[in-house]
Amino acid sequence: MKDKPSEWIAISDLMAGVMAVVMLLLVVSVLQKSMSERHYQEELAKTKGSMNDPIVKVTQALSEMLSKPGATELMALDQKTNRLTLRDGVFTRGSACLTSEARAAVEAVQGQLAQFLRSSPKARILVEGYTDNLPVKQPVTDYQRFCTVYDDNFTLSAARAREARRALVGTLDDQALKRIVVAGYGESRPLEGLHPSDSKNRRVEVQFVMD
């Protein structure tokens, strides 16, 4: 007759199994804690990096400025795309001349833009002009009245970007001025959800970039 397995042996095997599970759980717990700590340090480093990012600084400063009571309604800031938009009304139809209200609004942000350029030699500002899709019926040659001469929307949009740039530069030195670039896109990029003929497409966008 065969001997029955010892109950003590069965219990010892059970305890060994329990200890193995406990050790495995302990190892998993340590690994999870280590990964969580690493993730926390990575996020902390990203946060610190963002705080020192010139683009983050300038957009935060502009956001605070534009959120104050009485702030201009001629500007809108999109922090996701790092773009400051000079809205419809900045220019009269068919003209590249800034209105007096628009000029005051642009000059109000000169300091923030100058600080952005001075903060890093890699910082640049792109000033982009846009129009609606209403065609130019005849060439405009009266520079004194319209602040430009043009025969199509692309030329007009470039002139609007140029005039906005002139109002933005303030007292910047020549080296900084070279990092403010203008471009005109005419009616080629209407705002999403708007008909190309909508007057809201007549705008200038100021974009902050790092090379």
Mapped onto helix, strand or coil, the DSSP state of residue 39 is: helix
In eight-state DSSP terms, residue 27 is: H
Instruction: Report yes or no: 131 and 66 within 8 Å, Cβ to Cβ.
Output: no
Between CA 204 and CA 136 the distance in angstroms is: 19
The pLDDT, as a whole number, for residue 101 is 86
Mapped onto helix, strand or coil, the DSSP state of residue 52 is: coil
Note the pLDDT tens digit of each residue in 157-167: 999 999 999 99
Task: Report the pLDDT averaged over residues 11-34.
Answer: 72
Note the pLDDT tens digit of each residue in 127-163: 999 999 999 999 999 999 999 999 999 999 999 999 9
The pLDDT, as a whole number, for residue 119 is 87
Instruction: Report yes or no: 187 and 153 within 8 Å, Cβ to Cβ.
Output: yes
Note the pLDDT tens digit of each residue in 176-192: 889 999 999 999 999 99
